[in-house]
Amino acid sequence: MGAAVGIDLGTTNTVAAAVSDGVASPLPDGEGRRLLPSVVSFHPSGSVLVGRGALERRLIDGPNTIYSVKRLIGRAWASPEVEQARGKLPFELREGPKGGVVVAARGETYSLPEISAFVLRQAKALAEAALGQPVDRAVITVPANFNDLQRAATKTAGRLAGLEVLRILNEPTAAALAYGPQGKEQERIAVYDLGGGTFDITVLDLSGSVFEVLATAGDTALGGDDVDLLVAERMADDLLKNHRFDARAQPLVFGRLRMLAEDMKRELSTRDEHVVIADDLVPAERGKTVEWRFRMTRPELEWASLALVERTFRVAQQALDAAGVQPKDVDRILLVGGATRMPMVARKVEQFFGRPPMVRINPDEVVALGASIQAALLDRARQRGAAPMEHPRIAETSVVQPLPEDPMSLGEPPIELPIVGVGARPSPGPGPGPAAAPAAAARPAADFLPGGGAKPLVFELGPAPQRVPGAPPPPPRPRLPTMPFPYEAASDPPPPPAPAPAAPRAPSLPPQAAPPPRPAAAAPSASPVPDRAPVAPEPIRPAPRPAPLLIDVTPLSLSVETVGGFGDVLIEANTPVPCDRTRTFATASDDQTSVQVRVAQGELKRFAENTLLGELELTGLTPAPRGQTRVAVTFEIDADGILNVRARDVKTGHETAARMQLVGAPTDAGDLDAMRARQAAHPLALPEAPR
């Protein structure tokens, strides 16, 4: 049996993590890097490059190098997001089957889950190399605000990569799990997650070991990339004005500007001013290269991105309203996602909530760490169920590293922060900032500065691995201050949830954790409502904490279309999952044998303004006068946040065929098999995997 890992499949970067020996840690690649760029490049040789190798090909092979897929996955061709992306990306998007999107590269078309599957395969391979054992199960995270189609597409990607997807987990929830409880019995937490392409805000109540998500809201088209774009636009303006050179006319050059812009953004998180210099952007004049310099100050950047950051607080307010919570009621604010490194973000978050946010775990890794904890929890329980013993002693311990640099305090001279990993590779881009101090590479420290020039970006928190490529990795890397994960004791008490097979009454809790309930399952008889005077409101303080339980919610309301184009809401946003709702449909004409219902997700009143998920077909109905045949359809949202439907003929009680035709999604097994075959046909070009 292989290992179970957590994977944060990000817009820009992907991170895998695993819990082993009671420590949740990110899994580094052969060179000690933890961030795998979510970029896939189809090489002329037929192999597929993923990660940094692909990132470099963005500049030389733009049409066959695919990135930012997460912004488009699970979206319809006709959606505004796809329309906006078309023509702006250097690779080609086409309309796929069932109104979906495919990308074309080297004469083939690939659905977006297939592209993500390449990234996941690479993450899986790197995880296997780091762990020294096969990986076949994973918890994969998605933005909390992802709809059913986006979740289902992500799950498909996981399956195509040869992974059993244990759970599709919401990113902010994963982050909260990674942080864990902070000693207080009751806490209200807000997770502010600004990633490369998405923004999420989630409000949770943490009591004892239960994480209950109260509300979540988000914008799946708002992230750090948008800041990059703003900066790139300014750069393009500058090129036009000072060199009469139109960068926007050439997608490849503009793509290059975006990379320089990202660089600029990162630099300005630690310094007040930065200059990028490029001598190969502007075409040479009379054989002489033209040097282009672009200067920006942090106030300029902040002014430019103010509107974007303020948008996040409108979304945050929605989530708080939905939870019925005031900003001041929040005990802890967690910052997640690379874009929260912008000092302005932390400042604005503090203004909004009235207290400083917390950044104790690397915001790039915290989601993957949380996912790995959930993977271990789900996996451990399963192994206990299947094989009673063997490996049950996984203490949930997470890497908790105080960031050496508080994003709020910016006084640190950048020279103190070494560039790790830059010296090892040729600096591809132009003019690295002066931060590449000579002695720096030797000293381990947090590095929020980018590698020299345009790319690549390496974050190293642990000691820099100065290893010969190909040497075996030092598996559990020595860490900076490692704090025990607060659940760690969870391994000591008897296995928490799953009841022993032999036990006559099923649900029982670990003794210490047991709330005062009677074993309800054993005495299901109708009983008077007991007085809920909690005898011992919360279990013994010093006692080991039971394993955490996540109660997550569905982010969007689910509705069916009714007459007049309105939506009838079946399941409201922020309902805990799994949940379901049954609705009865009747035939409209005599002897009608099938019924079709359109299903959508979203909060708008008019059905058409929400995201159409697809059409539900009920077939094989008994012919009868109209209105006589009634079908009860149960819409279930499962723990992954994915919709399942089943239908029953009300009169006969028989199950009826119900099929959801999802927009843009492969539905039949044939489609999936074809995609699997295509994955098998494309070997991954793995860079020097250790061992």
Partner 1 sequence: MAGTDALKVFLESLGRKSYYEILRVQRDAPAAVIQAAFHDFSLLYHPDRYVGAPSEVAVASEIFKRGVEAYRCLSRGPMRDRYDRALARGKLRIDRSRPSTAPPPPPVRTLETIARTARAKQFAVKAERLISAGKLDDARVQLVSACQCEPDNEELADRLQALYEALALEPG
Return the range that interacts with partner 1 (CB under 8 A); candidates 62-70, 300-308, 438-446, 595-603.
595-603
359 or 599: whose CB is closer to partner 1? 599
Question: Judged by CB, which is closer to partner 1: 109, or 207?
Answer: 207
Nearer to partner 1, 484 or 578 (CB): 578
Q: Identify which of residues 316 and 558 has a Cβ nearer to partner 1 in the complex.
A: 558
Q: Is residue 536 at the binding interface for partner 1, with CB under 8 A as the rule?
A: no
Out of 249, 408, 520, 657, which residue is the one contacting partner 1 (CB under 8 A)? 520
Q: Which stretch binds partner 1 (CB under 8 A): 55-63, 146-154, 200-208, 672-680?
A: 200-208
| Contacting partner 1 within 395-414 (CB under 8 A) | none
* 3-state DSSP helix/strand/coil % of the chain, to nearest 5: 30, 25, 45
The nearest distance, CB 61 to partner 1, in angstroms, is 32
Rounded Cα gap, residues 189 and 323, in angstroms:
12
* Binding-site member from 286, 328, 532, 541 for partner 1 (CB under 8 A): 532
Those residues whose C-beta lies under 8 Å from the C-beta of residue 689, and which sit 6 or more positions away, are 30, 125, 126, 129
Which letter, b or e, does each residue of 396-424 get, where b requires 16 or more Cβ atoms within 10 Å of its Cβ? bbbbbbebebebeeeeeebeebbbbbbbe
Residues 167 and 641: their CA atoms lie apart, in Å, by 9
Asked if residues 140 and 120 have their Cβ atoms less than 8 Å apart, the reply is yes
* Closer residue to partner 1 (CB): 249 or 387: 387
Give min distance, CB of 220 to partner 1, in A: 16
Nearer to partner 1, 198 or 508 (CB): 508
Of the candidates 626, 629, 630, the residue with the CA atom closest to the CA atom of residue 588: 626
Q: Candidates 233, 279, 572, 671: give the one binding partner 1 (CB under 8 A).
A: 572
| 553/254 Cα distance (integer angstroms) | 39
* 339-378 binders of partner 1 (CB under 8 A): 377-378
- Judged by CB under 8 A, the residue of 185, 273, 568, 688 near partner 1 is 568
What are 602's two structure tokens?
């979203």
> Quick count: other Cβ atoms within 10 Å of Cβ 556?
26
Which are the contacts of 367, defined by CB distance < 8 A and separation ≥ 6? 8, 10, 15, 141, 171, 174, 175, 178, 193, 336, 337
Task: In angstroms, give the least distance from the CB of 665 to partner 1.
Answer: 15
76 or 335: CB nearest partner 1: 76
What is the footprint of partner 1 within residues 646-665 (CB under 8 A)? 663
Adjacency order of strands within the sheet including 101-105: 92-95, 101-105, 108-111
Binding segment toward partner 1, per CB under 8 A, in 73-81, 113-121, 131-139, 288-296: 73-81
> Which range of residues in 9-17, 63-71, 141-149, 603-611 is near partner 1 by CB under 8 A?
603-611
Binders in 225-264 for partner 1, by CB under 8 A: none
Interface residue with partner 1 among 60, 78, 249, 415 (CB under 8 A) is: 78
Q: Is the peptide bond before 578 cis (omega within 30 degrees of 0)?
A: yes
Closest approach of Cβ 573 to partner 1, in Å? 11
> Which two structure tokens, joined as six digits, stand for 63?
């049409």
* Residue 306 contacts partner 1 per CB under 8 A: no
Nearer CB in complex with partner 1: 93/260: 93
Helix (H) / strand (E) element for 28: namely none
Measured distance CA(62)–CA(66) in Å, rounded = 8
- The bridge status of strand 3-9 relative to strand 135-142 is parallel
Least Å distance between CB 656 and partner 1?
13
Which residues between 446 and 505 bind partner 1 (CB under 8 A)?
A: 496-499, 501-505
Contacts 24+ apart (CB under 8 A), 412-419: 412/270, 414/270, 414/271, 414/449, 415/440, 416/445, 417/270, 417/445, 417/446, 417/447, 417/448, 417/449, 418/442, 418/443, 418/444, 418/445, 418/447, 418/464, 419/447, 419/449, 419/451, 419/452
Sole binder of partner 1 in the list 97, 469, 475, 517 (CB under 8 A): 517
Distance CA 202, CA 117 (A): 27
Binders in 133-192 for partner 1, by CB under 8 A: none
Task: List CB contacts of 670: < 8 A, sequence separation 6 or more.
Answer: none
Specify the residue, 309 or 560, whose C-beta has the smaller distance to partner 1: 560
Q: Which is nearer to partner 1, 323 or 454 (CB)?
A: 323
Q: At residue 483, what is the residue type?
A: M
Structural element, H or E, at residue 207: strand 199-207
Residues 573-592 that bind partner 1 (CB under 8 A): 575-580, 583-588, 592
Residue whose CB is less far from partner 1, 95 or 416: 95
Q: Contact between 670 and partner 1 (CB under 8 A)?
A: no
Q: What is the nearest approach in angstroms of partner 1 to the Cβ of residue 629?
A: 10
Minimum gap (Å) between residue 187 Cβ and partner 1: 13
Q: How far is the CB of 625 from partner 1 (least distance, A)?
A: 14
The least distance separating partner 1 from the CB of residue 542, rounded to whole angstroms, comes to: 20
Burial class (CB in 10 A: 0-12, 13-18, 19+), 470: exposed
CB 22 within 8 A of CB 397: yes
Instruction: At 377, list the tokens.
Output: 């929890």
Ramachandran angles phi, psi of 407, nearest 5° = -65, -15
Number of chain positions touching partner 1 (CB under 8 A): 90
Residues 379-398 that bind partner 1 (CB under 8 A): 381-386
Q: Which is nearer to partner 1, 49 or 547 (CB)?
A: 547
- Least separation, in Å, of the C-beta of 373 and partner 1? 13
Site for partner 1, residues 540 to 559, rule: CB under 8 A? 546, 549-551
- Distance, in Å, from the CA atom of 144 to the CA atom of 550, rounded to the nearest integer, reads 14
Residues in contact with partner 1, shown as a per-residue x/- string from 609 to 648 under the rule CB under 8 A:
x--x--x-----------x--x-----x-xx---------
* Residue 591 Cβ vs partner 1, minimum distance, rounded to whole Å: 14
Residue whose structure tokens are 């994955």: 679
Q: Which is nearer to partner 1, 410 or 579 (CB)?
A: 579
Neighbours of 572 (CB within 10 A): 16
Closer Cβ to partner 1, 439 or 536, answer by number: 536
* Separation between Cα atoms, residue 268 and residue 265, nearest integer Å: 5
Please pick, from the candidates 509, 660, 662, 686, the single residue that binds partner 1 as defined by CB under 8 A: 509
Name the minimum Å distance from CB 386 to partner 1.
Answer: 6
